[in-house]
């Protein structure tokens, strides 16, 4: 069996045993360095990464293929890549860059299989008279329109 195909098969088996986990990215380079990035509906623990790593490593023959394996979680500052990742970030602030390079920054208020909803406050000129007033902006963005989405990390004072 093809090495890449076997790695994907083993990864799928490992993820089937842990349904709260899902694949964000996998790469296998020319020198057989395997890099797997996981995320989970409630985050990813070190133990879960170790279980996936062991399942892959223990079922590949090092006599047949010399490989290195790295299994990790998507970092806190890593861009969101899968629609499933957005659900656990409802209520947090996201910075979105659209395909047209428009930048949106707001609180993620909802998500489904097609799009996300963001909300933020902005100061705009009053419709009548001088001065500005604060308005609440709501926008829906489809996943297809998102070039990059990053959770904004905030530290409480």
* CATH number of the domain enclosing 129: 2.30.30
* pLDDT(157) > 70: no
What pLDDT digit, counting tens, does each position of 84-128 carry?
Answer: 999 989 999 999 999 999 999 999 999 999 999 999 999 988 888
Q: Domain check: are 89 and 63 in the same one?
A: no
Task: Count structural domains, the chain.
Answer: 2
Q: Answer yes or no: is 157 within a domain.
A: no
Work out the pLDDT band at 27, boundaries 50, 70, 90: very high
Cβ atoms 137, 92 nearer than 8 A = no
**pLDDT tens digits along 45-60:** 999 999 999 999 999 9
Residue with tokens 């860059």: 97
**CA 153 to CA 62: how far, in whole Å?**
41
Predicted local confidence at residue 154, as pLDDT? 80
156 within domain boundaries: no
Report pTM. Answer: 0.79
Last residue of a domain, one of 73, 103, 128: 73
59 and 87: one domain? no
Express the helix, strand and coil content of the chain in percent, nearest 5 each: 25, 45, 35
Count Cβ atoms below 10 Å from residue 5 Cβ, excluding itself: 9
- Beta-bridge partner residues of 40: 21
């Amino acid at each position: 069996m093809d090495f890449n195909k076997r790695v994907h098969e083993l990864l799928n088996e490992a993820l089937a045993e842990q349904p709260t986990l899902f694949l964000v990215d996998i790469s296998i380079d020319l020198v057989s360095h395997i890099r797997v990035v996981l995320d989970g509906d409630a985050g990813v623990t070190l133990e879960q990464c170790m279980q996936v790593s062991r399942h892959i490593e223990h079922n590949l023959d090092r006599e047949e293929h010399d490989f290195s394996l790295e299994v990790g979680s998507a970092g806190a500052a890593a861009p969101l890549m899968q629609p499933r990742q957005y659900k656990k970030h409802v209520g947090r602030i996201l910075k979105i860059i659209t395909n047209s390079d428009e930048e949106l920054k707001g609180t993620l208020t909802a998500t489904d299989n097609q799009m996300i909803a963001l909300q933020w406050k902005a100061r705009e000129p009053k419709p009548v008279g001088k001065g500005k007033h604060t308005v609440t902006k709501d926008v829906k963005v489809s996943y297809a329109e998102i070039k990059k989405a990053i959770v904004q990390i905030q530290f409480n004072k």
